[in-house]
Amino acid sequence: MIKRIGFLGPTGTYTEEASLKYDQTADLMPFSTISSIGQAVSSGLINQGVVPIENSLEGSVTFTLDLLISQSGLFISDEIVLPIQHYLLGLPGIHFPDIEVIYSHPQALAQCQTFLDQCFPKATRTASLSTVAAVTDMRNSQIPAAAIAPKRAAKLHNVEIIGQDIQDNSNNVTRFVVLAPQDHDRTGFDKTSICFSFNQDSPGVLYDVLGEFAERKINLAKIESRPTKELLGQYIFLVDCEGHREEPLVNKALSLISERANMFKILGSYPRWDS
């Protein structure tokens, strides 16, 4: 049976590109929101869902973190890391000097600022709802226009690539996670994501928790906090550590942490992305 994978759409987004990198044989279905992907995985409508969780310039995608924290029966079963490369797209035959307006998502416009300042100092920059919507906006424009979008959007919309890799910072990378009803078996090169909170603040609690990892020489890949949404100043901590939850040392650390915590959830063990 062909696997059904949902992704944050529309067709042509970086999330679709990540999904294709993850599984070329699956049946890919676009969804309009991150939470609708979570629901579709839980209800069995799709087998897995691909959503962004972190960008090297912007930081965490808080919608994804909050979904993982709050929705039961939803786990991370894989991760995908994708370099974000912006392309300048135009209608066939257009020339640089003719372009008067550049469409894209505000984030993409901001990420290509130096390129735009140098090559299009006089062009108007106009916000689109997404980098894919920018291509449609460009097509519908009454005055000569270009769009900043993913490479794949050029093929899908039958427009020309007139500039490639135009982002100012070459360290623009997004990490995606695969959401599934269960996490991944041990591979020997894994990481584990957990979240937890405490009943009360005290100087030592978070320190003691991190000590369970340090004591066992378990490397931490990430630590992040999100509001509990109950009281300002109370947080849910999200920690990524190296190793699989079934490895004895990791298992021991997690069970000691769960004893101290008010809320504790294993978000999943899954293979580390090897670039």
Q: Sign of the CA dihedral 157, 56, 35, 191?
A: positive
Side-chain-facing half-sphere of 140: CA atoms under 13 Å: 7
Query: In the bound complex, what is the minimum distance in angstroms from residue 59's beta carbon to a copy of itself?
Result: 5
Would you say 69 or 88 has its CB closer to a copy of itself?
A: 69
Q: Considering the rule CB under 8 A, would residue 220 count as an interface residue with a copy of itself?
A: yes
Residues 235 and 197 sit within 8 Å (Cβ to Cβ): yes
The residue assigned the tokens 């100012």 is: 168
- The type of residue at 236 is I
> 5-64: which residues touch a copy of itself (CB under 8 A)?
54-59, 62
- Residue 246 binds to a copy of itself (criterion: CB under 8 A): no
Question: Binders of a copy of itself among 174-193, rule CB under 8 A?
Answer: 175
Rounded to 10°, the helix 248-260/205-215 angle is 170
> 30, 211, 249, 266: which one contacts a copy of itself (CB under 8 A)?
211
β 101-104/124-127 pair status = parallel
Closest to a copy of itself by CB, 11 or 107: 107
- Taking CB under 8 A as the criterion, the residue among 139, 222, 252, 260 binding a copy of itself is 222
Smallest separation, CB 62 to a copy of itself (Å):
6
Q: How far is the CB of 230 from a copy of itself (least distance, A)?
A: 6
Q: Which of 3, 97, 223, 255 binds a copy of itself (CB under 8 A)?
A: 223
Q: Which of 93, 231, 248, 259 binds a copy of itself (CB under 8 A)?
A: 231
Binding site residues, a copy of itself, CB under 8 A: 54-59, 62, 81, 169, 171, 173, 175, 201-204, 206-207, 210-211, 213-214, 217-227, 229-233, 235, 237
